[in-house]
Amino acid sequence: MQELKEAINIRYASEASCCSSLSCGGAYELAKVKEGEIFLDLGSGRGQDVLKAAKDVGRNGIAYGVDFTKEMVNVAENTRKKLKIENAKFFESEIENLPFSENVFDVIISNCTINHSKDKPKVFSEIYRVLKPKGRVIISDVLAVEKLPEEVVNDPVAWAGCYGGAIPQEEYFEAIAKAGFLNIEILEESTPYKKGDVMVKSLTIKIQK
Ligand SMILES: C[S@@+](CC[C@H](N)C(=O)[O-])C[C@H]1O[C@@H](n2cnc3c(N)ncnc32)[C@H](O)[C@@H]1O
């Protein structure tokens, strides 16, 4: 776990100050964030979606971002200060242990992050815990077309590259259902594509508490 976290951190520390896209779907746009809402982004990276949300929720709402890479949180926080945005806040934290109490958020998004987690069931149960009843969650992520071979699953570089931790849709949806979510709606699905030597796809889903 530590080796994996280090590989992901090293990759994202170097990505923090560059401008290539790290997303794998249109989670933010599809979340249709509204005035007054309390918003959370899991794996907020350089903070773009949180800062967009801060504008969309307005003065009566608030936007939070969580990321475990210090450099990402620093870049996001510096941008926030430069743009003088008061209703956004970034936390350096793991998405497996969220620093929030129960039933806080109206809307949660995550873009290309949950594939990195070694404990996806815990991530989904944390999402369920902090989401308000009737709250919505929009997730864009990378999924494996078939169960990945052991050598890929054990390769920290593949995990950091957004595919080593990818699991098949059935397993992903089972973890969501176990957390307590009843319906999973598919909003976007790519055709399968190659990452390293394996086939994956990008999926954007909506779930509600
Ligand atoms: C591919 S980037 C996506 C960033 C952002 N969501 C975007 O779309 O630009 C993944 C981000 O998730 C963070 N991350 C990966 N695993 C995490 C975990 N277990 N807990 C918290 N953050 C994590 C990384 O540090 C990185 O900033």
Instruction: Give tens-digit pLDDT for 138-183.
Output: 999 999 999 999 999 999 999 989 999 999 999 999 999 999 999 9
pLDDT at 103 over 90: yes
pLDDT given for residue 38 in this prediction: 98
pLDDT given for residue 7 in this prediction: 82
pLDDT given for residue 19 in this prediction: 67
Alpha helices by DSSP H, 70-140: 70-82, 120-130
pLDDT given for residue 20 in this prediction: 74
Residue located nearest, by CA, to atom 2 of ligand 1 = 22
Domain that holds residue 193: 2-208
105 phi and psi angles, rounded to 5 deg: -100, 140
- Pocket flag, ligand 1, residue 31 (CB < 6 Å): no
Please give the model's pTM, rounded to 2 decimal places. 0.96
Across the chain, which distance is largest between two alpha carbons, in Å? 49
Instruction: Give tens-digit pLDDT for 181-197.
Output: 999 999 999 999 999 99
The count of domains in the chain is 1
CATH number for 155: 3.40.50.150
Give the tokens for residue 28: 């933010």
Q: Which atom of ligand 1 is nearest to the CA of 48?
A: 9
